[in-house]
Structure 1
Amino acid sequence: MESNPTGSFTGWLRGEFGRLKLKQLRAVAAGLILAVAGLFGGLDTVNAGPTVFAADEPHSDGEFTLTVMRASVVDELRAGRRVVARAQPGRKFLGVVADVRNDGTIPGRLLGEMTLRDPDQNTSVGVFRIHDGSPATTLGPGLSEQLVFVWRVPEGEIHPDSEVTLRVTGKRFTELLVTYGRNWIDNPGDYAEITLPVTFR
């Protein structure tokens, strides 16, 4: 009668696993997972933190390329002679100026494109075009615009020697599950930060 080496090996393996305790089985399973993962290029690395970029340095989040230039604080928000937002007791307006280019193939939403890292008591006022002060909610594909992102902040929170840190979340172009078509969505855990000195005007 022919011996069955495969069957013998399988039987031996079953016997060895039968003798292992639960803790040992977990260790073996973890080792097997790591070994298999190694065959396919390894496990994903944990996000070590944000990408950091500097003023006047272009940064792409996938959808937009932003070149952030400066941050300043004013009492009242004006566009020429027109008052966009009046002064309020105990509040100031923080504006961050950036060149923004839409690198995608569809119009991109500008609101929320940049956020303050510490949002407590800070309210987004909107995004405005520098050249005429008009609101800018979207930017068409292939277009560039110089914009100011504005927040209302508590008066004592930012002072002349302050710095402000802003966050830009990475995006990916994907098929929408609830509605039809494709669009850019935030990619959780993928973000960049820029820290700027604040000037008062």
Structure 2
Amino acid sequence: MLADVSVTGQGGLSRRLTRGLLDQVTPGLRWVAAVVLLGVSGLFGGLDTVPEPPAETVAAGTTIHGGPWEVTVEAAAVYRDMGKLRLEKETNRWLVVTATVRITAHESTMPPSDLLTLTGVTGLTSPTPAEEALDRDKSRLRLLQPDMPERILFIWEQSGDAPVPTSITVAVEQRTYREDSLSGAWYWMDVDGKGEDEPAGRVTVPVRTDLPPLIASPSPSVAASPSTSPKPAANRTPSAGPTP
């Protein structure tokens, strides 16, 4: 019913509402529904994009609900040495965010590489973490089980030429459980289908900067043979090091 159709922006019909209505129509009738919706939208000024409200910024220790997961960002710190993990340049540093992640979906889930993104920091070698590790045993992050919270180390490498941040803002990615308009199957997917959603929330956290001395190169193991290099191969990604 037209009375139930909300309009937004300058009077235009919401694109997300339009897509949702089309997804509920059988494939054979979608072209008919599309024509009707376009006609209705013309009465209200066309299809306007509905801007999402900005994500709330909360304090460290606040749980953010992101759909199939809950994330509690706890702390951030800078380190020079992370055990076996190697910097691209010895003058660089590690920026480590510690967060507890609980899977709220019914199935085991591997968090996406962009589960956490950072603002307020420059010089990152990659926007996604160089390594993600379980705090309890420093093993590499794998599938997380439902309703079993894990404390995780999210580790970025930052250029030594960039300033050490005093605080950072951590954005938590979100997903929504919806029907795929092509296959009809239900998945945890981006809300807008383009990966351009607002995050579920943001956390501003101070950065601990009590840096240990720079270690130029590790000492070779006593048990290592003379031909063994103390450093791993360039294309090898070792496991994470000690707890921040």
Match of 2:93 in 1: 92
- Aligned letter for 1:199? R
Q: Distance in 2 between matches of 1:30 and 1:139?
A: 44
Match of 2:125 among 122, 125, 132: 122
Residue 187 of structure 2 corresponds to residue 183 of structure 1: yes
Percent identity for Structure 1 against Structure 2: 19
State the shift of 1:120 in Å.
Answer: 5.7
Runs of 5+ in structure 1 lacking a partner? 1-28, 35-42
Over 3 Å counting, the alpha-carbon distance change for 1:179 and 1:32 in structure 2 is closer
Task: Select the structure that is richer in strand.
Answer: 1
- Kept in 1: contact 2:123–2:162 (CA 8 A): no
**2:141 matches 1:132:** no
Measured in 2, the distance between the counterparts of 1:109 and 1:138 equals: 4
Instruction: Report how far residue 89 of structure 1 moved.
Output: 2.2
Q: Residues 76 and 87 of structure 1 are in contact (CA less than 8 Å); yes or no, is this contact kept in structure 2?
A: no
Matched, 1:33 2:41: no
Structure 2 residue runs of 5 or longer lacking an equivalent are 1-39, 212-244
Q: How much is the aligned-residue C-alpha RMSD, in angstroms?
A: 3.1
Structure 1 equivalent of residue 68 of structure 2: 63
Aligned residues: 161
Task: Name the SS for the 1:96 alignment partner.
Answer: strand
The secondary structure found in structure 1 opposite 2:175 is: strand
In the aligned structure 1, how far is the partner of 2:67 from the partner of 2:99?
16
Deviations for 1:8-34, whole angstroms, at most 9, x for unmatched residues? xxxxxxxxxxxxxxxxxxxxx999527
C-alpha displacement of 1:141? 1.7
Deviations for 1:41-63, whole angstroms, at most 9, x for unmatched residues? xx985223222122011111111
**In the alignment, residue 125 of structure 2 is paired with which amino acid?**
N
Over 4 Å off, 4+ runs: 29-32, 176-181
Q: Which has the higher helix share?
A: 1
Shift of 1:182: 3.6
Q: Tell me, yes or no, if the aligned pair for 2:122 and 2:163 is still in contact at 8 Å.
A: no
